[in-house]
């Protein structure tokens, strides 16, 4: 067996591009570390936070040095185990980095099963992005029957899942997404009540009409350009979940700021969301989501690139928001 990895060629000075990376031959790990696992990567997760992490802009983590393997989570198959908790053939979500094979500590690995969904769904709807959506909708905003729920980046893994959860809880759901293809995914596949294309002139007036008498909950994934438009439409006592700021991750200058006066005027509640706070409750989300998936009340939509060689280009596409649904790179066969 031979191993290959994607490494950072140089430290990206702006939004990372495919040309910042290269795919290289790498030594095969000799075996599992003490109490660890030797794994074969099946699918890699492409996430917006990784763009910031490569530039030292994510949760205080240092930027990886050029020459190192790109960090990131995957679904992998256990080939050899030095841990009593895992055996060969198990499937795990763990931080392998971008490679065909990796030796990883067992402590950070989570066992998963296919159960009627692609195994890669554990990187999307049944993984970190789905948990983020569940936490924001059910634990922070506490969405209930009768809410008017707005979310942007609504075609993405977090936004699409958040809207589907809110709809299943009885809210009227309106998604904001860029372009007709994303809009079709939001209403056709995710079955939101409506979607608005913010790349079209007059989208704010359209949103106001669709959400009348105003959103009770807004789930923010993008940043200032959407938040400043939606906030004035909120009903009194509206709730806002601040989840992501995708449009600001690679810009310079001051981060966006909400004016405190309008927050008081609206008696609004603003919730900052960090998914790490909810990792120990992932089982609660998976228990809720699994029957919803079986009943088609929750849809998994993936944008898959084939092969490790295509990971850099797919990553660049994802960072530019050109993907549909959850961006995944299939690295090896799924024998689940
Ligand atoms: N707080 C947490 O713990 C947590 C956890 C996971 C994810 N997040 C955040 O949640 C958000 C959604 O995550 P996701 O994984 O589902 O990603 P995603 O929605 O698939 O991708 C981000 C989307 O942001 C929109 N966008 C608008 N302006 C952009 C710009 N200038 N550059 C890039 N994208 C832009 C694009 O959608 P349109 O074309 O439709 O605008 C893009 O597809 C991200 O901001 C992510 O960082 C936060």
- pTM, two decimals, is 0.97
Report the nearest atom of ligand 1 relative to the CA of 159: 16
Tell me, in angstroms, the distance from the centre of ligand 1 to residue 158's CA.
Answer: 8
Return the sign of the alpha-carbon dihedral for residues 133, 156, 19, 17.
Answer: negative
Tell me, in angstroms, the distance from the centre of ligand 1 to residue 221's CA.
Answer: 5
332 Cβ contact partners less than 8 Å away, ≥ 6 residues apart: 40, 41, 42, 77, 100
Least confident of 93-107, 163-177, 251-265, 280-294: 251-265
DSSP alpha helix (H) spans, 190-331? 203-211, 224-230, 260-266, 282-294, 311-319
Length, in residues, of the chain:
336
Distance of alpha carbon 92 from alpha carbon 35, whole angstroms: 15
Q: DSSP string spanning 68-114?
A: SBPP-EEEEEEEEE-STT--TT-EEEEE--SBSEEEEEGGG-EEE--
List 81's β-bridge partners, or say none. 37
Q: Which residue has the higher pLDDT, 116 or 279?
A: 279
Q: Which residue has the higher pLDDT, 83 or 117?
A: 83
Report the nearest atom of ligand 1 relative to the CA of 325: 20
Cis peptide before 213 (omega within 30 of 0): yes
pLDDT tier for residue 336 given thresholds of 50, 70 and 90: low
- Residue pLDDT, tens place only, 34-67: 999 999 999 999 999 999 999 999 988 889 999 9
What is the predicted pLDDT for the residue at 255? 72
Report the nearest atom of ligand 1 relative to the CA of 160: 16
| Residue 80, Cβ density class (10 Å: 0-12 exposed, 13-18 middle, ≥19 buried) | middle
Report the nearest atom of ligand 1 relative to the CA of 132: 5
| % of the chain surpassing 70 pLDDT | 100
List 271's β-bridge partners, or say none. 241
Radius of gyration in angstroms for the set of CA atoms belonging to the chain, rounded to a whole number: 20
Please choose from 158, 301, 314 the residue to mutate so as to test ligand 1's pocket, defined by most ligand atoms within 8 A of CB: 158
Please say if the pLDDT value at position 140 is more than 80.
yes
pLDDT tier for residue 253 given thresholds of 50, 70 and 90: confident
Query: Contact 47/72 with Cβ under 8 angstroms?
Result: yes
| Residue 188, Cβ density class (10 Å: 0-12 exposed, 13-18 middle, ≥19 buried) | exposed
- Mean residue pLDDT of the chain comes to 96
Distance of alpha carbon 232 from alpha carbon 278, whole angstroms: 30
What is the predicted pLDDT for the residue at 256? 75
Please choose from 44, 45, 47, 48 the residue to mutate so as to test ligand 1's pocket, defined by most ligand atoms within 8 A of CB: 48
- Looking at residues 95-123, what average pLDDT do you find? 94
% helix / strand / coil in the chain, to the nearest 5?
35, 25, 40
Query: Contact 50/84 with Cβ under 8 angstroms?
Result: no
Tell me, in angstroms, the distance from the centre of ligand 1 to residue 48's CA.
Answer: 6
- Tokens of residue 204, six digits: 């704010």
Distance of alpha carbon 193 from alpha carbon 246, whole angstroms: 24
- Residue pLDDT, tens place only, 157-208: 999 999 999 999 999 999 999 999 999 999 999 999 999 999 999 999 999 9
Tell me, in angstroms, the distance from the centre of ligand 1 to residue 261's CA.
Answer: 27
State the number of CA atoms in the 13 A half-sphere of 131 facing the CB: 17
Query: Contact 174/209 with Cβ under 8 angstroms?
Result: no
Query: Contact 82/36 with Cβ under 8 angstroms?
Result: yes
Write out residues with Cβ below 6 Å of ligand 1. 47-49, 129, 132, 153, 155-159, 177-178, 182, 221-222, 243-244, 246-247, 273-275, 320-321
- Residue pLDDT, tens place only, 267-298: 999 999 999 999 999 999 999 999 999 999 99
Please choose, from the candidates 128, 127, 152, the residue with its C-alpha nearest in 3D space to the C-alpha of residue 246.
Answer: 152
């Amino acid at each position: 067996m031979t191993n290959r990895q994607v490494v950072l060629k140089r430290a990206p000075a702006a939004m990372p591009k495919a040309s910042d990376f290269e795919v290289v031959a790498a030594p095969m790990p000799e075996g599992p570390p003490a109490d660890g696992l030797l794994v074969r990567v099946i699918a890699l997760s492409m996430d917006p936070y990784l763009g910031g992490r490569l530039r030292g802009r994510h949760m205080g983590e240092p930027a990886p040095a050029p020459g190192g393997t790109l960090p990131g989570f995957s679904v992998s198959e256990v080939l050899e185990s030095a841990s009593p908790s895992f055996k060969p053939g198990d499937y795990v979500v763990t931080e392998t980095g971008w490679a065909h094979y990796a030796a990883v500590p067992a402590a950070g690995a989570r066992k998963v099963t296919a159960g009627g969904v692609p195994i890669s769904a554990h990187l999307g709807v049944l993984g970190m992005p789905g948990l983020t959506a569940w936490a924001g909708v059910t634990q922070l905003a506490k969405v209930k029957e009768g809410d008017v729920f707005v979310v942007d980046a609504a075609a993405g893994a977090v936004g699409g899942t958040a809207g589907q959860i809110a709809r299943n809880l009885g809210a009227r759901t309106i998604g904001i997404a860029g372009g007709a293809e994303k809009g079709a995914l939001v209403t056709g596949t995710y079955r939101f009540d409506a979607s608005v294309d913010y790349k079209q002139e007059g989208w704010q007036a359209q949103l106001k009409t669709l959400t009348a008498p105003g959103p009770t909950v807004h789930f923010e994934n993008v940043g200032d350009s959407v938040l400043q438009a939606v906030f004035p439409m909120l009903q009194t006592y509206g709730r806002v979940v601040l989840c992501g700021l995708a449009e600001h991750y690679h810009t310079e200058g001051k981060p966006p700021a909400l004016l405190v006066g309008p927050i008081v005027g609206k008696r609004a509640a603003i919730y900052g969301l960090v998914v790490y706070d909810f990792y120990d409750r992932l089982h609660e989300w998976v228990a809720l989501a699994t029957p919803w998936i079986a009943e088609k009340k929750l849809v998994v939509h993936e944008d898959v690139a084939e092969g490790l060689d295509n990971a850099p280009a797919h990553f660049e596409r994802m960072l530019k928001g050109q993907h549909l649904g959850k961006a995944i790179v299939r690295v090896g066969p799924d024998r689940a």
